Amino acid sequence: MRRKTKFPRLKQAAIGAGALIAVLGTAVPAEPFALPDMGSPSDAVMSTGAEQRLGKAFMRSVRESLPILDDPVVTDYVESLGRELLAADNNAGGDFTFFVIDQPVVNAFAGPGGYIGVYAGLILAAETESELAAVMAHEIAHVTQRHLMRSIDDQSKLSIPATALLVAAAILGAQVSADAGVAAIAGIQAATLQRKINFTRENEKEADRLGIVTLAKGGYDPYAMAGFFERLAKNSRVYENNAPEFLRTHPVNTNRIADALGRADDFGAQQRPDHLRFQLARAKLREASYKRPEQAVDHFRDTLREGRYRNIMAERYGYALALERAGKLGAAQQIATELLDAKPMLPEFITLDARLDVKQGKASQAVAHLKQAISLAPASWPLRISYADALMAAGKPSEALDELTTVARLRPGNAVLYEKLEEAALKAGDRAATHRFRAEKLYAEGDLEPAIRQLEIALRQRDIPYHDAALIQARLDIWKEEARDSKQKKKKDRDNNQRGISPQIKN
């Protein structure tokens, strides 16, 4: 199940690390290479701790407004690619979070605190894994060089919640609608939002340069960045006003392509086969892009018959997914079994096989197979989530709750995971845990006040264990303090605006 955005009319547009724009009241035409007046870069850098807090607040706003893909295996693949690139980047330090946005937009963006969003459309548009890696390496460089942080004026620093709103407002303005962007921005101090936040040409050039170094060190094709830029630029003639959003947020010209080629020449060509998981992710996203399952079935049946595919195993995987969605479980199971026999350790194939078992009334068999798979790959969170789903189907919600709790400790802040935890706790009869996990889901989605109310309800439940009550109370105290700070800051800003005073901001 995909999480629905609260804004029903999402435009097919994206904001990338190359162009975060915040405006007040009226739209300002994009000026890709305009150097904003942001003061001294050295003055603009937040402390690492403040940036991490900003990143968490920013991510809550993103979850509230954009459809984050909740598919574990696709997310796990993107995370694994991100980890490979980070290992090859000498500048990378601290925590990074990679996530996929479920929109057919060709773009990616880097937010504060190492949060990097990759659009489903970008994964589908990349013809090779090196092309996808090139864009992600570029965004990683924006984070390591703290380009976004250097765009925030130190003389008027916002509080963490307000700064998160500023950055998120830029995304809302491009992603949702102009009205939504203006409404979000209007909620922040007017005096601090009358300038644009925009990455400079030098920032883009630096991100290209460092990204190409990372590509080469990671064993990917260093020419992939220039090749992808050039292909998008050529194809943009067909798009006219609906050019890929990557070209709007990361302006590409002949000089930039030439610079990227020159950097790649320093390393030479490095050809490597795509990981199978890259092709599997593309097949899964391609299948999901069809509104009706019959369309997906026809597509994959035709490409397999005509030999129009890059990887036959990935194409058959997409066909099995389409058959599953169309309710043709027997045919899907036959393909899944063959794929699993060929690659028995791939989470994509294991989870597909287990899901088909459950749908065919064989939940106990799915539980047994997944338990064995986890014993061989205990760190695989997609397998653990699939195992919990199978346990729920087998009528074992308490065991599912234990499994999901383990995953939540490793992956805190995941709204979809908390939704599963809430369901498991409810079926297990644990009312306090039900309200607790509902609260965590609401908090992850940016709904602080309702989250606080759910924790208060959790504490009123009878027979709640002392340890659980202490954990809930500690969480409640933190959230209430956050709510008080936010209200006090809003009141102070409102009073200052009425007096015409530009507020000073802390981090």
| 282/126 Cα distance (integer angstroms) | 9
The winner for highest mean pLDDT among 32-36, 128-132, 189-193, 484-488 is: 128-132
Q: What letters, b where the CB count within 10 A reaches 16 and e where it falls short, cover 165-178?
A: bbbbbbbbbbbbbe
Q: Tell me what the mean pLDDT of segment 463-487 comes to.
A: 92
User: What is the percent of the chain where pLDDT is above 90?
Assistant: 58
Q: What is the CA radius of gyration of the chain?
A: 24
Q: Which pLDDT score, from 0 to 100, does residue 201 have?
A: 73
Q: Which pLDDT score, from 0 to 100, does residue 289 have?
A: 97
pLDDT band at 215 (very low <50, low <70, confident <90, very high): very high
pLDDT band at 496 (very low <50, low <70, confident <90, very high): low
Q: For residue 462, is pLDDT > 50?
A: yes
DSSP string of 394-430, one letter each residue: TT-HHHHHHHHHHHHHHSTT-HHHHHHHHHHHHHHT-
| 494/489 Cα distance (integer angstroms) | 8
pLDDT band at 15 (very low <50, low <70, confident <90, very high): very low
Q: Which pLDDT score, from 0 to 100, does residue 497 have?
A: 64
| 7/65 Cα distance (integer angstroms) | 7
Amino acid in the structure at residue 218: G
- CB of 225 within 8 A of CB of 134? yes
Give 274-318 pLDDT, tens digit per residue.
999 999 999 999 999 999 999 999 999 999 999 999 999 999 999
Q: Which pLDDT score, from 0 to 100, does residue 10 have?
A: 33
Ranges assigned E (strand) in 89-222:
97-101, 108-110, 115-119
Q: Tell me what the mean pLDDT of segment 47-59 comes to.
A: 79
| Token output for 335 | 């393909």
| Token output for 454 | 């759910």
- Is the model more confident about 497 or about 434? 434
| 498/465 Cα distance (integer angstroms) | 49
| Token output for 276 | 């199978």
Q: Which residues are catalytic?
A: 139, 208
Q: Tell me what the mean pLDDT of segment 466-480 comes to.
A: 96
Q: What letters, b where the CB count within 10 A reaches 16 and e where it falls short, cover 433-457?
A: bbbbbbbbbbbbbbbbeebbebbeb
Q: For residue 461, is pLDDT > 60?
A: yes
Q: Tell me what the mean pLDDT of segment 211-222 comes to.
A: 97
89-103, 137-151, 170-184, 222-236: which has the minimum mean pLDDT?
Answer: 170-184
| Token output for 284 | 């899964």
Residues in the chain: 507
Q: For residue 386, is pLDDT > 60?
A: yes
The winner for highest mean pLDDT among 20-34, 168-182, 307-321 is: 307-321
Give 114-170 pLDDT, tens digit per residue.
999 999 999 999 999 999 999 999 999 999 988 777 665 533 455 666 666 666 665
- Tally the C-alpha atoms within 13 A of residue 28's C-alpha that lie toward its C-beta: 18
| Feature table: binding site for Zn(2+) | 138, 142, 204
Q: For residue 453, is pLDDT > 70?
A: yes
**Domains defined along the chain, listed by start:** 41-265 (no CATH), 396-494 (1.25.40)
| 114/143 Cα distance (integer angstroms) | 6
Q: For residue 246, is pLDDT > 50?
A: yes
Does the CA dihedral 361-366-367-368 come out positive or negative?
Answer: positive
For the entire predicted model, the pTM comes to 0.83
Residue partners of 490: CB distance under 8 A and separation at least 6: none
Angle at which helix 276-288 crosses helix 72-87, to 10 degrees, equals: 140
| Feature table: binding site | 138, 142, 204
User: What is the percent of the chain where pLDDT is above 70?
Assistant: 76
| 263/251 Cα distance (integer angstroms) | 18
| 375/369 Cα distance (integer angstroms) | 10
Q: For residue 14, is pLDDT > 60?
A: no
61-70, 73-82, 93-102, 402-411: which has the minimum mean pLDDT?
Answer: 61-70
| 158/166 Cα distance (integer angstroms) | 9
Q: For residue 51, is pLDDT > 60?
A: yes
Q: Which pLDDT score, from 0 to 100, does residue 283 have?
A: 98
Q: Which pLDDT score, from 0 to 100, does residue 488 have?
A: 81
- CB of 53 within 8 A of CB of 162? no
DSSP string of 70-89, one letter each residue: --HHHHHHHHHHHHHHHHT-
- CB of 218 within 8 A of CB of 136? no
Q: Which pLDDT score, from 0 to 100, does residue 319 have?
A: 98
Q: Tell me what the mean pLDDT of segment 433-447 comes to.
A: 93
Which of 270, 119, 148, 163 is closest to 207 using CA atoms?
A: 148
- CB of 429 within 8 A of CB of 407? no
Q: Which pLDDT score, from 0 to 100, does residue 208 have?
A: 95
- Is the model more confident about 49 or about 136? 136
CA 425 to chain centre: 26
Q: For residue 174, is pLDDT > 70?
A: no
Q: What letters, b where the CB count within 10 A reaches 16 and e where it falls short, cover 274-303?
A: bebbbbbbbbbbbbbebeebeebbebbeeb
Q: Which pLDDT score, from 0 to 100, does residue 280 have?
A: 98
- CB of 354 within 8 A of CB of 332? no
Query: Does an H or E element contain 381, and which?
Result: helix 381-393
Farthest-apart Cα atoms in the chain, separation: 72
pLDDT band at 445 (very low <50, low <70, confident <90, very high): confident
Q: Tell me what the mean pLDDT of segment 243-260 comes to.
A: 78
Give 178-189 pLDDT, tens digit per residue.
444 444 444 443
Q: Which pLDDT score, from 0 to 100, does residue 288 have?
A: 97
Q: Which pLDDT score, from 0 to 100, does residue 328 have?
A: 98
- DSSP code for 68: B
Amino acid in the structure at residue 78: V
Q: Tell me what the mean pLDDT of segment 194-201 comes to.
A: 48
**Other beta carbons less than 10 A from residue 3's beta carbon:** 18
pLDDT band at 57 (very low <50, low <70, confident <90, very high): confident
Task: Tell me the pLDDT of the chain averaged across its residues.
Answer: 82
**Other beta carbons less than 10 A from residue 483's beta carbon:** 14
